[in-house]
């Protein structure tokens, strides 16, 4: 399991209800169910991945978060997880509002567009950045709304979203983001992981 | 209909059953079939519900029609519902014509078939009757309840009536309340039967009417694309149009065959009663307009399955079930299977569908057995 999921799993307490939005093949869900006795549900738009999940005994619903989140009652999950997908929605703000409505807490991870390799790529090559975390070209990327760690934190502050935890990931190394190291982390982190409510 | 149903398995239910219509029945028969063996823990039983024109012979060869059972692709040794592993039960619905108490039964008071004097039955009555069978077999908790179309409606009614009796529930290509379009299509079939001069006669059966009903219904089980690909405008055993009303086109000939084969195995009045039961099905109304309340106490894990080209029970209607389940926090998974075969998809050999079905049941089976060990 990738490091990002390990970090997310550590944030989630045992025996809690979790909704994994864009759960993919259910790797994180399976881990949470087996190791932390979490009651997990998933939402995934790709049929083949949904079928894989159901085959594993994971309760996953086929559907797009932009349309399907409305059906879940308020605070019906202890945690809602959204891993590296926020930037791919047409209306990320609305999706985020739904996540915050459904979950008592929400875990969001974002690929950091402020990462130094991304900055240098644009600066020196003058073309849209392609990195390990952002492997697509400009014309086929699913990412419509890229942001930096700083952008996301600013957004939360503006919208009165409480950030309970902010972590960042660089080359499999995890560390905490604080007010002091924010500028630094915004340059040297590949991924930001936030626990918000 | 010329089926001899004398030698099939039947349970005579001594208790009385209060029907939704107000009448009470007792000492009635329920014909059923089982496949595989019930294990010692009695935790491997799966109740399969048949659709409108199905019967208890889900697997193997149907001993009456000598044709494959209606769900042989799904039920059998090594199949998705593996009879080497599970004990599969399927009963002919109340009102049916394969040995269960229905309009073809002789009324002891008149010595004639019940015909249209048979009480109107509902999906709830149909499900309650099958509960007697489970009691008779000594099964307290099923591994799964599964069914497509009207079988799916029975799944929903079952978990609503008995929220703690099934570890898992698989409603396939169905709806929680019959749509206006589906009522309309059923009414078309019923009117075809009733328009046949042989209907309600002692010395004849309304075969023409029933055949037309079946032909119309059969079209609704397919999809436009499926029909076009299979038949197109191909002619039946001829090189050119005959300028007559014979079956020039293959699709006409196919439908005529479907109609005539159907009347050999099905009773017209059963068709009236069962389609009525489907029309009356409105689980939402049973719970005062809130479908979620139907599932409030359910302990079952759900897997809702729909098919992309099914316009009779479209994905949107299946999703209503998912939404209601989510609203009450039930454990639910949902997938729409890509298929151009229309509503009939659930009866066909579609690998993606059968794989999902089989692996979902198998994962439930493993969970149930692991729980027991702890």
pLDDT digits (tens, 9 = 90+) for A107-152: 999 999 999 999 999 999 999 999 888 899 999 999 999 999 999 9
Task: Read off the pLDDT of residues A166-182 as tens digits, 9 standing for 90 and up.
Answer: 999 998 899 999 999 99
What's the confidence (pLDDT) of residue B372?
54
For residues B134-162, give the mean pLDDT. 98
Flag whether B92 is in a domain. yes
Which residue segments constitute the domains of chain A, with CATH numbers given?
Answer: 3-112+147-196 (3.40.50.150)
- Chain B residue with minimum CA distance to A43: B333
Record the tokens describing residue B105, joined without a space: 């039964």
Determine the straight-line distance between the first and last CA of chain B, rounded to whole angstroms: 53
Q: Distance between CA atoms of B93 and A103, rounded to whole angstroms?
A: 43
pLDDT at B103 over 70: yes
Neighbours of A141 (CB within 10 A): 15
Is the Cβ pair B333, A71 closer than 8 Å?
A: no
CA dist list (Å): A190 to A118, A125, A175: 9, 19, 12
- Output B260-264 pairs: Cβ under 8 A, ≥24 positions apart: B260/B207, B260/B211, B262/B53, B262/B210, B262/B211, B262/B214, B263/B1, B263/B205, B263/B207, B263/B210, B263/B211, B263/B214, B264/B1, B264/B2, B264/B3, B264/B65
The model's confidence at residue B1, banded by pLDDT at 50, 70 and 90, is: low
State how many domains chain B has: 1
Residue B75 has pLDDT above 60, yes or no: yes
* Alpha-carbon gap, residue A129 to A115, rounded angstroms: 10
Q: Convert B252-267 to b/e letters by CB count within 10 Å (16 or more is b).
A: bbbbbebbeebbebbb
Query: Does a structural domain hold residue B201?
Result: no
Q: What is the pTM of this model?
A: 0.95
Lowest mean pLDDT among A135-144, B147-156, B207-216: A135-144
Active site (annotated) includes residue B343: yes
Which residues on chain A are in Cβ contact (under 8 Å) with B302? 59
Residue B136 is assigned to a structural domain of this protein = yes
Contacts of A51 in chain B (CB under 8 A): 335, 352, 355-356
If you average pLDDT over each of B188-192, B237-241, B367-371, which comes out highest?
B188-192
The CATH number for B151's domain is: 3.40.50.1820
Distance, in Å, from the CA atom of A17 to the CA atom of A75, rounded to the nearest integer, reads 10
Contact residues on chain B for A73, CB-CB shorter than 8 A: 326-327, 329
Average pLDDT value over all residues in chain B: 96
Instruction: Give me the pLDDT at residue B374, please.
Output: 47
* Crossing angle for the helix pair B180-194 and B268-280, to the nearest 10 degrees: 160
The tens digit of pLDDT for each residue in B251-282 reads 999 999 999 999 999 999 999 999 999 999 99
Range of the domain at B288: 10-178+282-373
pLDDT single digits (tens) A3-55: 999 999 999 999 999 999 999 999 999 999 999 999 999 999 999 999 999 99
CA angle (A153, A159, A163) in 5-degree steps: 45
Does an H or E element contain A21, and which? strand A17-21
Q: State the Cα angle at B335 between B333 and B338, rounded to 5°.
A: 170
Q: Which residues of A touch B355 (CB under 8 A)?
A: 51, 55
Q: Report the distance separating Cα B76 and Cα B360, nearest Å.
A: 16
A156 to chain B nearest CA, in Å? 28
CA gap A81, A42 in Å, rounded? 9
The partner residues of B46 in beta bridges, in order of sequence, read: B88, B144
Check whether B373 has a pLDDT greater than 60. Answer: no
The whole-angstrom separation of Cα B169 and Cα B153 is 11
The predicted structure's pLDDT at residue A63: 96
Q: Which of B53, B79, B49 is nearest to B67 (CA)?
A: B53
B43, B169, B363: which is closest to A33 by C-alpha? B363
What does the pLDDT look like over B39-68, one tens digit per residue? 999 999 999 999 999 999 999 999 999 999
Compute the distance between CA of residue A51 and CA of residue B334 in angstroms, rounded to an integer. Answer: 9
Separation CA A82–CA A59 (nearest Å): 17
Asked if the structure places residue B20 within a domain, the reply is: yes
CA–CA distance, A131 with A80 (Å, rounded to integer): 27
The whole-angstrom separation of Cα A36 and Cα A18 is 11
In a domain, B298, yes or no: yes
Establish if B277 belongs to a structural domain: no
Give yes or no for a contact between B283 and B122, defined as CB atoms under 8 angstroms apart. no
Residue A36: count of CB within 10 angstroms of its CB: 16
**In this predicted structure, what is the pLDDT of residue B2?**
57
CB contact under 8 A, A71 and B355: no
Query: φ and ψ at B124, to 5 degrees?
Result: -65, -45
Contact B326 A61 (CB under 8 A): yes
Mean per-residue pLDDT for B113-136? 97
Residue B27 domain flag: yes
With CB atoms and an 8 Å threshold, state whether A50 touches B332.
Answer: no
Q: Evaluate whether residue B267 is within a structural domain.
A: no
Tokens read off for B121: 């039955």
Task: Compute the C-alpha angle A42/A46/A50, nearest 5°.
Answer: 45
Name the DSSP class of A32: H
Instruction: Please name the residue of chain B whose CA is at the shortest distance from the CA of residue A68.
Output: B323
Quick one: pLDDT band at residue B6, thresholds 50, 70, 90?
confident
Q: Confirm or reject contact between A45 and chain B (CB < 8 A).
A: no
Cβ of residue A62 closer than 8 Å to a chain B Cβ: yes
Percent of chain B with pLDDT over 70: 98
Q: Is B360 on the interface with A (CB under 8 A)?
A: yes
**Three-class SS state of A114:** coil
Q: Radius of gyration over alpha carbons of chain A, in Å? A: 16
- String of b and e for A152-186 (b: at least 16 CB within 10 Å)? bbeebeeeebeeeebbbbeeeebeebeeeeeeebb
Assigned token pair, B271: 């068709």
Helix or strand or coil: residue A130? Answer: coil
């Amino acid at each position: 399991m990738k490091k990002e999921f390990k970090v997310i799993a550590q944030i989630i307490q045992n025996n809690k209800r979790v909704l994994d939005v864009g759960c993919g093949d259910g790797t994180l869900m399976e881990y949470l169910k087996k190791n932390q006795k979490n009651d997990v549900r998933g939402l995934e738009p790709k049929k083949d991945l949904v079928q894989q999940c159901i085959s594993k005994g994971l309760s996953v619903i086929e559907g797009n978060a932009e349309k399907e989140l409305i059906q879940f009652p308020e605070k019906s999950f202890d945690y809602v997880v959204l891993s590296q997908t926020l930037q791919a929605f047409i209306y990320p703000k609305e999706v985020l509002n739904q996540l915050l409505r459904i979950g008592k807490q929400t875990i969001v991870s974002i690929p950091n567009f402020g990462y130094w390799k991304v900055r240098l790529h644009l600066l020196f090559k003058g073309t849209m950045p392609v990195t390990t975390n952002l492997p697509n070209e400009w014309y086929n990327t699913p990412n419509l709304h890229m942001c930096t760690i700083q952008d996301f934190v600013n957004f939360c502050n503006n919208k009165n979203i409480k950030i309970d935890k902010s972590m960042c990931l660089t080359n499999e190394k995890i560390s905490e983001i604080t007010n002091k190291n924010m500028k630094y982390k915004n340059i040297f982190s590949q991924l930001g992981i936030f626990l918000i409510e | 209909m010329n089926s001899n149903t004398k030698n099939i398995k039947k349970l005579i239910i001594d208790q009385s059953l209060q029907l939704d219509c107000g009448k009470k029945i007792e000492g009635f028969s329920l014909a059923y079939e089982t496949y595989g063996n019930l294990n010692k823990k009695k935790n491997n039983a799966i109740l399969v519900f048949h659709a409108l024109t199905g019967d208890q012979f889900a697997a193997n060869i149907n001993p009456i029609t000598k044709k494959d059972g209606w769900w042989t692709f799904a039920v059998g040794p090594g199949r998705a519902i593996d009879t080497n592993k599970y004990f599969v039960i399927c009963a002919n619905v109340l009102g049916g014509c394969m040995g269960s108490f229905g309009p073809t039964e002789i009324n002891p008071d008149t010595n004639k078939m019940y015909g249209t004097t048979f009480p109107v039955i509902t999906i709830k009555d149909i499900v309650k009757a099958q509960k007697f069978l489970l009691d008779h077999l000594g099964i307290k908790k099923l591994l799964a309840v599964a069914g497509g179309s009207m079988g799916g409606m029975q799944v929903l009614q079952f978990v609503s009536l008995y929220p703690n009796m099934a570890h898992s529930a698989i409603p396939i290509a169905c709806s929680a309340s019959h749509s206006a379009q589906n009522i309309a299509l059923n009414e078309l079939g019923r009117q075809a039967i009733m328009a046949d001069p042989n209907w309600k006669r002692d010395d004849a059966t309304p075969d023409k009417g029933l055949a037309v009903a079946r032909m119309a219904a059969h079209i609704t089980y397919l999809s436009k694309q499926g029909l076009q690909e299979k038949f197109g405008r191909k002619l039946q055993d001829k090189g050119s149009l005959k300028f007559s009303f014979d079956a020039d086109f293959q699709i006409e000939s196919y439908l005529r065959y479907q109609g005539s084969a159907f009347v050999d195995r099905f009773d017209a009045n059963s068709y009236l009663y069962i389609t009525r039961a489907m029309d009356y099905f409105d689980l939402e109304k049973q719970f005062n307009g809130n479908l979620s309340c139907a599932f409030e106490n359910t302990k079952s894990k759900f897997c809702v399955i729909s098919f992309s080209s099914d316009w009779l029970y479209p994905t949107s209607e299946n999703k209503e079930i998912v939404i209601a389940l989510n609203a009450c926090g039930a454990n639910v998974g949902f997938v729409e299977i890509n298929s151009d075969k229309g509503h009939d998809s659930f009866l066909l050999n579609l690998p993606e569908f059968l794989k999902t079905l089989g692996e979902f049941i198998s994962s439930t089976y493993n969970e149930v057995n692991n729980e027991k060990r702890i």
